[in-house]
Amino acid sequence: MVTFSRLNRRQILSAGAAFGATMAMGGGQAGAQAGTFRFGLAMPLTGPQALYGADQIQAAQWGVADINAAGGVNGKKLDMIVLDTQADPNVGIQAMNRLINVDKVPVYITAWSAVVKAAAPLANDSKTLQIVVGANAPSISKLGDYVYTSYPLADVDLIALLKYMYGEGKKTAGVLYVNNETGISAAEIYRDAFTAMGGKIVAYEAFDPKATDFTGPILKARASGADMIHIQGQVSDTPQIIAQMRQLGIKQTISSYSAIFHPKFIQSLGAAAEGVVVTSLAPSPEVSADVAKYVQRWVKEKGREPNGLPYTQYLYDAPYLVAKIFEKLDKDGTAITGTSMRQAMLDIKTFHLPLTGQVDILPDHTVKKPVDLMQVKGGKWERITTIGT
Amino acid sequence: MFDLATIMQILWTSVATSSYYVLFALSFALALKVNKVFNFTQAAVMSVAFYTAYGCVQLLDWPAFIALPLALVAALVLSWFIEVFGFSILRERKVEMLFVFIFTFMVSQLTVYLISLAFGTWSHTIFQSMFWPVTLVGPIAISGWDIPALVVAFGSAAILFAFLRFSRWGQFMVAVSDNPDLAELYGIEKRKVYLLTILIAGALAAIGMFLYGMRAQVQPRTSLDLMLFATVATIIGGIGNLFGALIAAVGLAVIQNASILFISSEWQAFLVYAILFATIIFLPGGLRMPKFGTRFETKTREISLAEETPSAPPSTRAE
């Protein structure tokens, strides 16, 4: 059972009716109607981020549909209430208010850092569990008792990458990063972690998010003689930077992060992609039959691959994570509240999810997740090691 | 830190990458010079040109010699549509410039949105690989893209200047840009000149986008970002001065890249805005660069318009 709703009168009335029914049942089972377990999903369905948000909602809806088709949670249906945040903090707060105060869900899923941060006080005050899926700002782990993430924050994969590289004898590094909030903060994490390990950053160069030529920063990195060069760029510009690096004669090991781990990266670079090392936080269609089937489902039903495939994998898995928590509480006969959901999630700790694999949700509000390091060898991605198992 | 080889490499790459900027700047400056519009619909034309080429080459697996002309035709059709169903109607209604300006923004945003729906927001290149083989000339690495791109860009610019200088319709464009009402009195059909200008501007923008899309990845919004550079080059070059826009585009590309020799890389983008700011404040008419063919343009008006009679429309004579 999947419901999509915006703030219209009919649905507010029906939500009110549902609320009344819930209360009539005794009120102890917040978020549970007769035979259902309810939770919320607040993502951008309109506005500039809708192209990503809509696909992530679609993925979560498929997750719910598949769980229900397989018998639901202890025989009960999962019911997901979808609200639009427009990736805007103000709209997001309205959506969370509705989920918390009208729909009385014990748990909701959301993303986009600005929305996550704006909604955190609501979750904490109302003791409603907020699960963040997709945003990766390190500050998310410090937003309060009821804000958790199932998506690794930015430091997880970079530290794993550095551990491997340092172990391989790379003692000096150059960093090229995109000059926006994401690039700057990730580059700082990389710099600080590498320095703490005993490495030395010998080039630290920013480039503009709208730049089309990177000769200057590349030549500075080349002149530094670094053992390796890390690129913390955007999906769109990183292949171009690597192409220019190879054209300008850089032969050192080049690394980047999970956004680059996709087959089109190799297609767009050809031989220039050889040797590039990246992190992977979600299996690709090449290494996982389930993910390959999932991508085929997109192509069959929507005529295209999803925007931001790895993120949609996490969103597909999010209902499975929530279902696992409901299942435990239902089995234990515990009243379903935000507090009990939070505790059950921490008790379960390790979740095995269909499209993203194992994840540990930790009491310090971070996640522990094995990070695969992938390298281009012979024109395809090969896993060279897994860090954090 | 930088040796001579590095400096030469930066300068060479800067000049090579200025190729598409030159075409974007010429396209924007031409529409502004003749049609008197800040034509941000150019971004829509650029996007359509790129995505048609990408669709034909990568999705339909057609050869480039079919795909690129087809994409050029798509860009020209969109340019024609925008002029006939947009600009000419607004012109007839004598709407304010600000409204035309908003219209051009609206068209480009709408097109970008539709392309996002059709192709998604993933980045694409026209050909599967964006990596070009490199030839070392002394210490300088010259990619297989550099010289053809320069030839195409500066060849297109030369053809444009020759067209304006030697062809009758080019002379009409110069005349209309100078004084449209007077040109009309002499029998030049303004509407056709405006249409021709938009078509030529569309072709230049499309060719520039092909060059860009063979070297870099493109998203639906990329064309909007690239428009900023064209706008800055046009203003710095002096509004109405095509040659100035060309020189400004090359100069800006070189300054932006070469600036890393003196400043931190994170300030490189700032430099363009700083130059624009200084130009608007201190040189509102742009830098005083020579107007290519100025002497000839005057002569053209004297000869062509004097020979023109209201009863003999230029199109008839051209035929």
What confidence category does residue B308 fall into, taking pLDDT thresholds of 50, 70 and 90?
A: very low
pLDDT score for B292: 54
Q: CA angle, corner B239, sides to B235 and B240, nearest 5?
A: 150
pLDDT score for A156: 87
Return d(Cα B283, Cα B83) in angstroms, integer: 32
Q: Minimal Cα–Cα distance from A161 to chain B, Å?
A: 25
Please judge whether A207 and B268 are an interchain contact, meaning their C-beta atoms are less than 8 angstroms apart: yes
Query: CA nearest B204: which of B153, B139, B255?
Result: B153
Q: What angle do the packed helices A215-224 and A238-247 form, to 10 degrees?
A: 60
Q: Minimal Cα–Cα distance from B297 to chain A, Å?
A: 36
Query: CA nearest A158: which of A230, A109, A206?
Result: A230
- Asked if the model's pLDDT at residue A48 lies above 80, the reply is no
- Each residue of B151-197: pLDDT tens digit? 999 999 999 999 999 999 999 999 999 999 999 999 999 999 999 99
Please judge whether A272 and B131 are an interchain contact, meaning their C-beta atoms are less than 8 angstroms apart: yes
Return d(Cα A366, Cα A360) in angstroms, integer: 9
- Asked if the model's pLDDT at residue B62 lies above 90, the reply is yes
Select the more confidently predicted residue: A136 or B26: B26
What is the length of chain A? 389
Please judge whether A216 and B130 are an interchain contact, meaning their C-beta atoms are less than 8 angstroms apart: no
- Each residue of A155-176: pLDDT tens digit? 888 999 999 999 999 999 999 9
pLDDT score for B291: 58
Cβ contacts of B264 on chain A, cutoff 8 Å: 205-206
pLDDT score for A185: 83
Across chain A, mean pLDDT equals 87
Please judge whether B269 and A208 are an interchain contact, meaning their C-beta atoms are less than 8 angstroms apart: yes
Return d(Cα A347, Cα A357) in angstroms, integer: 18
Please judge whether B268 and A249 are an interchain contact, meaning their C-beta atoms are less than 8 angstroms apart: no
Residue in A264, A268, A299 to test binding to B, most B beta-carbons within 10 Å: A268
Out of A18-22, A226-230, B61-65, which region has the weakest mean confidence (pLDDT)?
Answer: A18-22
- In terms of average pLDDT, the best of A206-215, A366-375, B69-78, B269-278 is B69-78
CA dihedral over A66, A71, A73, A79, signed as positive or negative: positive
Q: What's the token pair of residue A340?
A: 């009990």
- Parallel, antiparallel or unpaired: strands A2-4 and A77-84: parallel
Q: What is the DSSP letter of A227?
A: S
DSSP A277-289: EEEESS--TTT-H
Which residues of A, range 47-106, sit inside 8 Å of B by Cβ? 51-52
Place of tokens 């890393």: B260
Select the more confidently predicted residue: B10 or A174: A174
Across chain B, mean pLDDT equals 86
Mean pLDDT, range A127-132, rounded to an integer: 97
Query: Who among A212, A236, A267 is closest to B128 (CB)?
Result: A267
Question: B215 at the A interface (CB within 8 A)?
Answer: yes
The pTM (predicted TM-score) of the whole model is 0.73
- Collapse the DSSP code of A382 into the 3-class scheme (helix H, G, I; strand E, B; otherwise coil) and give the result: strand
